[in-house]
């Protein structure tokens, strides 16, 4: 698989990464054995970058990913994130809380060093300079290698980067969700790489989307605006158009969605999530797909029909 450079501090990863959120959070109950097989299949196929967070099961997700990657720890990079309060899901980047969470992440992941540590979400109650100051302590102690931000704004990115170089901005980005293009100028200026989360629009761009009634009660799609009645029908029409394009090219809808992201910039890495080894293989194969300018323009035009806000 092609490798991509994220930021200017030396982080290099396979062009398609793996997002482990769904193994323990957001998409209903999973099967740990199958999830571990999916993670290991990703690695066998050339994926080197694996993404998790404290939030994804309050340690459970990190432990599952750590177990899956233990035999191949030296061949991969692991990203995790801090920044929420378990009881309320409210942003929490209080400095002592960061230290507690990062110390626990190291234990949960079974590693001496986290390759990429993100602040998961902007916390208006704590100056970003102080947050990055604590993150930097971990770099200086050799317990974190690179720093990232997620779900934040231009001002915070600039202020954070002035304290310590930020290697990656992780932001929601897909054919369905293009709002973060507003941040492309600042990441270009500062030399920050991009990780695209929810690149399959939480499964809407996967070819197996269903209405809200087809998902478990605790599935996040019960609450997402793309699934709101009215939006759902408009969005399935967009998907039908994209599927026609994919069929004509002999690729799957998921592959079209991921290859479209890879085609937008040289320094972007999508992290699709799947708990199934076969679907992981399908997604990873997107790294080999390229488009003509005409195909990209047709995808963009179809994308204008998307209705509903991203989850944020
Ligand atoms: N920074 C943040 O705030 C933030 C927010 C959300 C996500 N993320 C990160 O981004 C990663 C990916 O995002 P995501 O999991 O929300 O959404 P996603 O990758 O856009 O979509 C995941 C959904 O698509 C399904 N899927 C994946 N590949 C498929 C295929 N080839 N065919 C059919 N269905 C397929 C998965 O089901 P199966 O598992 O059944 O295949 C799952 O339900 C997360 O794991 C997490 O690491 C970060």
The tens digit of pLDDT for each residue in 14-45 reads 999 999 999 999 887 889 999 999 999 999 99
Answer yes or no: are the C-beta atoms of 255 and 160 closer than 8 Å: no
Our mutation pick for probing the ligand 1 site, out of 26, 35, 203, 251, counting the most ligand atoms within 8 A of Cβ, is 203
Q: Which atom of ligand 1 lies at the shortest distance from residue 282's CA?
A: 31
Ligand 1 mean position, distance from CA 59 (Å):
19
- The residue among 158, 219, 236 whose CA lies nearest residue 192 is 158
Ligand 1 mean position, distance from CA 162 (Å):
32
Residue whose Cα lies nearest atom 19 of ligand 1: it is 272
Q: What Rg do the C-alpha atoms of the chain give, in angstroms?
A: 18
Q: Which domains does the chain have, with CATH numbers?
A: 3-201+257-288 (3.20.20.100)
Bridge partners of 114? Answer: 144
Distance in angstroms (rounded) separating the CA atoms of residues 217 and 48: 33
- Helix 32-44 / helix 60-69 crossing angle, nearest 10 deg: 50
Strand stretches in the chain, DSSP E: 3-6, 11-14, 18-19, 49-51, 77-82, 114-119, 144-150, 168-172, 193-197, 268-270
Confidence of residue 312 (pLDDT cuts 50, 70, 90): low
Compute the average pLDDT of residues 50-66: 97
In this structure, how many other beta carbons lie within 10 angstroms of the beta carbon of residue 144?
21
Report pLDDT for 311. Answer: 67
The tens digit of pLDDT for each residue in 85-103 reads 998 999 999 999 999 999 9
Distance in angstroms (rounded) separating the CA atoms of residues 167 and 3: 16
Query: Catalytic site residue 56?
Result: yes
């Amino acid at each position: 698989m092609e490798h991509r450079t994220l930021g200017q501090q030396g982080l290099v990863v396979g062009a398609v990464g793996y997002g482990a959120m769904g193994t323990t959070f957001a998409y209903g109950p999973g099967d740990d054995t199958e999830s571990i097989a999916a993670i290991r299949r990703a690695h066998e196929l050339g994926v080197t970058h694996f993404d998790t967070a404290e939030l994804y099961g309050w340690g459970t997700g990190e432990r599952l990913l750590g177990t899956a990657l233990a035999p191949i720890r030296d061949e991969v990079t692991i990203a995790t994130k801090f920044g929420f309060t378990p009881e309320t899901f409210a942003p929490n980047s209080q400095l002592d809380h960061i230290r507690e969470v990062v110390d626990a992440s190291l234990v949960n992941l079974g590693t001496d060093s986290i390759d990429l540590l993100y602040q998961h979400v902007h916390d208006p109650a704590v100056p970003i300079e102080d947050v990055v100051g604590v993150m930097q302590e971990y770099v200086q102690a050799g317990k974190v290698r690179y720093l990232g931000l997620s779900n934040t704004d231009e001002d915070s990115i600039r202020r954070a980067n002035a304290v310590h170089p930020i290697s990656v901005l992780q932001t929601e980005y897909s054919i369905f969700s293009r709002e973060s293009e507003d941040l492309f100028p600042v990441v270009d200026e500062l030399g920050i790489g991009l990780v695209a989360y929810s690149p399959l629009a939480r499964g809407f761009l996967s070819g197996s989307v269903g209405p809200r009634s087809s998902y478990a009660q605790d599935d996040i799609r019960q609450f997402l605006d793309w699934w709101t009645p009215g939006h759902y029908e408009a969005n399935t029409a967009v998907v039908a158009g994209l599927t026609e394009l994919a069929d004509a090219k002999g690729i799957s809808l998921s592959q079209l969605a991921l290859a479209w992201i890879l085609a937008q910039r040289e320094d972007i890495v999508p992290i699709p999530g799947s708990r199934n080894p076969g679907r992981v293989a399908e997604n990873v194969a997107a790294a080999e797909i390229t488009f003509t300018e005409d195909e990209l323009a047709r995808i963009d035009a179809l994308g204008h029909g998307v209705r509903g806000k991203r989850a944020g």
